[in-house]
Structure 1
Amino acid sequence: MKHVFLTGVAVALFFVAQAKSNGDAALVARATALTRIQAEKAHLDEGQYLRVKQLNIRMFSEMEDLKTRFAADPAIMDERLAVAQARYEMALTALMRPAQLAVFQQSRSTMTALSTPAPR
């Protein structure tokens, strides 16, 4: 168990160091902020927090890369961003336990612009 945790920490540190060395400190800050919100909403344990943070860093990096590469073709960019988002959602779902996922999805649905406002 310790070995798995230490490996997760090492991988997290690697991704954080890699992102920072590429001048992506803002990306890491955004990923950290998002991860904290997700951890609070879904009650993630420490191992899940580290894996979700890694996933968020990769997701933000991929999104930035796609926006840069396909800036001249918005249709392709939208398609690729949708595929990346779907991959991210599947990976995030795989990291959470069912009860956590239900709580997270409920809280996320209340935060979207498409959700109906609470009655007054």
Structure 2
Amino acid sequence: MKKAFLFTGIILALGATVYASGDKESTIVTRATALTRIQVQKARLDEGQYLRVKTLNIRMLTEMEDIRNRFASEPAILDERLAVAQARYELELTSIMRPAQLAMFNQARNSMTALSAPH
């Protein structure tokens, strides 16, 4: 009888773990899709680029989440690793876009941050 309860408990725990990780993955995919749609609008990406950027965004968000979890107790290392990951992401993102698209994207990004910059 104890073995049956133990086995049931283990199955429930594994199921909860899989569900939780699946939910986290779903959230990342949802966030990546929303981010990619904004990037498509700003840079007028084609369908092939959309797929590559979405994959890149999923990978970036997953990596950022992993870094935050691993280095939460070490703020200096956390900031450094996040900065490196962000720089790598920016480099890969710019390699996907054509020059005209990159110019439109940078202009849109700069106009969003220009509101806080002094004139």
Q: Please confirm whether the aligned pair reaches a TM-score higher than 0.5, indicating the same fold.
A: yes
Q: Quick one: distance in 1 between partners of 2:71 and 2:41?
A: 34
Amino acid at match of 1:85: Q
SS in 1 for 2:84: helix
Structure 1: runs of 5+ lacking an equivalent: 1-19
Query: Under a length normalisation based on structure 2, what TM-score does the superposition of the two structures give?
Result: 0.77
1:64 aligns with 2:65: yes
SS in 1 for 2:72: coil
Matches within 5 A, 1:36-55: 36-55=37-56
Which has the larger helix fraction? Answer: 2
Structure 2: runs of 5+ lacking an equivalent: 1-20
CA separation of 1:113 and 1:62: change in aligned 2, threshold 3 A: farther
Residue in structure 2 matched with residue 102 of structure 1 by the alignment: 103
State the aligned residue count. 99
Query: Under a length normalisation based on structure 1, what TM-score does the superposition of the two structures give?
Result: 0.76
RMSD: 2.0
Residue in structure 2 matched with residue 75 of structure 1 by the alignment: 76
Q: Indicate the percent of aligned positions where both proteins have the same amino acid.
A: 68
Give CA deviations for 1:46-93 in whole Å, capped at 9, x if unaligned. Answer: 000000000000000000000000001000000000000000000000
Q: Quick one: distance in 2 between partners of 1:44 and 1:117?
A: 31
Residue in structure 2 matched with residue 88 of structure 1 by the alignment: 89
